[in-house]
Amino acid sequence: MWADDYLSVLRSRQDGGDGSGTVGSGRRGTAPPVLLAPLSGITDLHFRRAVRKLGASAVVSEMVAAAEFAKGDEESRLRAEGGGIDPHVVQLAGCSPAPMAQAARLAEDAGAHVVDINMGCPAKTVTGGEAGSALMRDIEGATRILAAVREAVSVPVTVKMRLGWDHDNLNAPELARRAESLGLDAVTVHGRTRQQFYKGVADWRAIRSVVESVRIPVIANGDVVDAGTARTCLEQSGAAGVMIGRAALGRPWLVGAVAAELAGHPVQTLDEAARARIALDHYDGLLALYGYRMGIRHARKHLAAYADAAGGLDTPARTAMLTSTDPAQVRVLLRKAFAGRHLSLGEAA
């Protein structure tokens, strides 16, 4: 049901049929979708699966380098893995139309329900290759990529961007208009410029300039951490939905809790034991997916985030968990992290 909801939001126009263009919730009477953002090194298959199961409207894969994926690279294949998640959204990054189109076709053939194009990543390894947010400096090149991917697949295509390269070049509205005219289905906007990286605060009001430029749904992103900030972000931006990234790290239940609260549904309460089980399943899933050596390494960021979110380990125990190469020891410490947790106000979800 949720999957249908997200896909139908993608197919909706912001005017809800009355031509006003200002509804802001995608369609009249529908709760705004709340998505998990693509986070490289973090939104692996098992994290996405947990977040989706816990009620997120949709979850997005880590960015997948299109050229590598098209060449059959194993790590890229793992990043793009859907494993039965529905809807399965694969994000592609690249700087040339042909590999991006080829990768999009491969993703569709492998079961992707939506292909998302990365035009927001500020990392130098990505922008150095003129992909990610560097494409916002080359709007003609960006447009060729949007067109090629749109042409290549029949599933919905979306694009994630920033407000622009810098404050003198806030061209997200122009890029979004081009995306819309090429037939893309939605746009996500992180309310920062490339030059800001992650500094300062996301400017949700600036996202409104994109919302007012197109009729396809706009998803607002940046610094949303709970239902309160999600509501403010939706009010200030007029966006159809919100996307949550960093705040979900160590809290796979957060996105679903925000979605439920915005929809006016009861928020599922999870006790420490339930949270620990989710974290343990995630850890075991990573070892199974990547194998022992790579799995241990990949799990570290998540373990650190679980420890910090749960708050039950002192510094030596936390360090022991992060450096341990013994999965049995990690499991004991992870359980302890949650068992020793003191619930703080507002964290009952």
Ligand X SMILES: Cc1cc2nc3c(=O)[nH]c(=O)nc-3n(C[C@H](O)[C@H](O)[C@H](O)COP(=O)(O)O)c2cc1C
Interacting residue with ligand X among 245, 250, 256, 295 (CB under 6 A): 245
Q: Is 95 a catalytic residue?
A: no
Pick the closer one to ligand X by CB: 218 or 244. Answer: 244
Which residue spans within the chain are E strands per DSSP? 34-36, 58-65, 88-93, 114-119, 157-162, 186-190, 218-221, 241-244
* Residue closest to ligand X, measured at CB: 245
Interacting residue with ligand X among 7, 45, 56, 62 (CB under 6 A): 62
Burial of 45 (0-12, 13-18, 19+ CB in 10 A): buried
222 binds ligand X (CB under 6 A): yes
In 10 A of CB 335, how many CB atoms? 18
Interacting residue with ligand X among 170, 244, 278, 286 (CB under 6 A): 244
Interacting residue with ligand X among 31, 104, 112, 121 (CB under 6 A): 121
Interacting residue with ligand X among 38, 55, 256, 295 (CB under 6 A): 38
Q: Which of residues 81-120 bind ligand X (CB under 6 A)?
A: 91, 118, 120
37 binds ligand X (CB under 6 A): yes
How far the first Cα of the chain sits from its last, in Å, is 22
CB of 326 to ligand X, least distance (A): 27
Instruction: Output Rg (C-alpha) for the chain, integer angstroms.
Output: 20
At 151, list the tokens.
Answer: 């042409």
Of the listed pieces 35-43, 97-105, 147-155, 279-287, which binds ligand X according to CB under 6 A? Answer: 35-43
| Interatomic CA distance for residues 156 and 50, integer angstroms | 23
| Interatomic CA distance for residues 266 and 39, integer angstroms | 28
CB of 57 to ligand X, least distance (A): 15
Phi (first) and psi of residue 269, to 5 degrees? -95, 130
For residue 126, which of 35, 41, 225, 249 has the smallest C-alpha distance? 41
| Interatomic CA distance for residues 308 and 346, integer angstroms | 16
223 binds ligand X (CB under 6 A): yes
Q: One symbol per residue from 134 to 173: x for binding ligand X (CB under 6 A), - otherwise; what is it?
A: --------------------------x-------------
Q: Give catalytic residue positions.
A: 121
Task: Give me the residues that bind ligand X (CB under 6 A), please.
Answer: 37-42, 62-63, 91, 118, 120-121, 160, 190, 221-224, 244-247
